[in-house]
Amino acid sequence: MTILHQWQPSGSIDSIVKRAQILSKIRNYFANQNVLEVETPTISPSTVTDVHLEAMTTIHTNPQSVEKTHLFLQTSPEYYMKRMLSAGFPSIYQITKCFRDDEVGRFHNPEFTMLEWYRLDYSMHELIEDVDSILKLVLDTPVCHKISYRELFAMHLDLDIKNDSDLKLVSICKQCGFENIVPTEFKETLSQTQRNMLLQLLFCEEIESKIGLERPVAVTHFPASQASLAKIDPVDPWLSLRFEIYYKGIELANGFEELTDVKEQKARFTADNEQRKESGLEVKPEDTKFLDALEFGLPACSGVALGIDRLIMLALGKKHISEVLTFDFASL
């Protein structure tokens, strides 16, 4: 007789017990650091404008209204947390569920757990040290190595991403076997969206698996064209104060010395939506309350989002995200 096991959790009891211990260690770390644990809503009438992030949606019925409201599930708690900081809250953290549409794989579950925190008056470098302390605590790793995004391309692909031509970038992509991804209409120049797409491709396929093998690596100073919500580097405006943390080829965290300038923030929302149009995607409504908070004033701070499920995968040596979740997407 065949017994179906589809009703069972995807993570083993042992994994879920260890998961609880890791979460408790992290909460303990922030308690000792006097960082306040908070909870913010997972739903919002607006969402992020990022070109490569799609939010899931839900519908809310209000008993005192005939209209139904479309709501977005959060892709990260960033805007609510920054609204709190603008309102005078001290350094804060939360461990929360985030939702991203169209993302399923070994390292992706459409619903996953994020550890996100903000430190007032921290620089990008101070925040990297903070992330490093958590990695040491959970994974017992040595001190992380810092290298810039631009240096990585120079080292692994002999490409100067600031000065080399689009032709050189395309020829490297072709050498690596990605001729099918180079835009078919390419002659000599790429749009900024296309150039970034090819850089991301090379990063994913030619660099990511080669970095952070012995100890975690902080990839710093992403180009300003990939700044997301990071401040522009005051030393070199071609760069931004954005970093990512990698360990054993896995992207673990993304952080910024936060952009606090409301005008610049509005310009980035507009630019994102322009890119969305160019890529044939739906334009997203701007989060006006977040912009109002920036207008009022966001104190100088740095913030980072760390994928807890991936951290636990690394801690337990698991190959698939389903092994560290109680019920992964496939077992719903």
Return residues touching other proteins (CB under 8 A). Answer: 50, 52-53, 102-106, 108, 177-178, 180-181, 196-197, 200-201, 203-205, 226, 228, 244, 251, 254, 305, 307
Q: What secondary structure does DSSP assign to 7-30, as a single string?
A: TS-SS-HHHHHHHHHHHHHHHHHH
Relative to beta strand 242-247, strand 145-148 is unpaired
Q: How far is the CB of 320 from other proteins (least distance, A)?
A: 11
Nearer to other proteins, 118 or 203 (CB): 203
Nearer to other proteins, 86 or 303 (CB): 303
- State which amino acid sits at residue 250: I
Nearer to other proteins, 177 or 317 (CB): 177
Nearer to other proteins, 88 or 177 (CB): 177
Q: How far is the CB of 144 from other proteins (least distance, A)?
A: 18
- State which amino acid sits at residue 159: L
Relative to beta strand 301-307, strand 250-257 is antiparallel
Q: How far is the CB of 254 from other proteins (least distance, A)?
A: 5
Helix (H, G, I), strand (E, B) or coil at 134: helix
Nearer to other proteins, 69 or 200 (CB): 200
Residue 307's φ and ψ, nearest 5 degrees, are -75, 105
Question: Which strand ranges, in their side-by-side order, compose the sheet holding 43-44?
Answer: 43-44, 68-73, 57-61
Strand-pairing partners, residue 310, are: none
Q: How far is the CB of 135 from other proteins (least distance, A)?
A: 17
Q: How far is the CB of 244 from other proteins (least distance, A)?
A: 8
CA distance 56 to 97: 13
What the block records as the tokens of 121 is 């008056």
Helix (H, G, I), strand (E, B) or coil at 332: coil
Q: How far is the CB of 193 from other proteins (least distance, A)?
A: 9
CA atoms within 13 A on the CB side of 209: 5
Nearer to other proteins, 102 or 126 (CB): 102
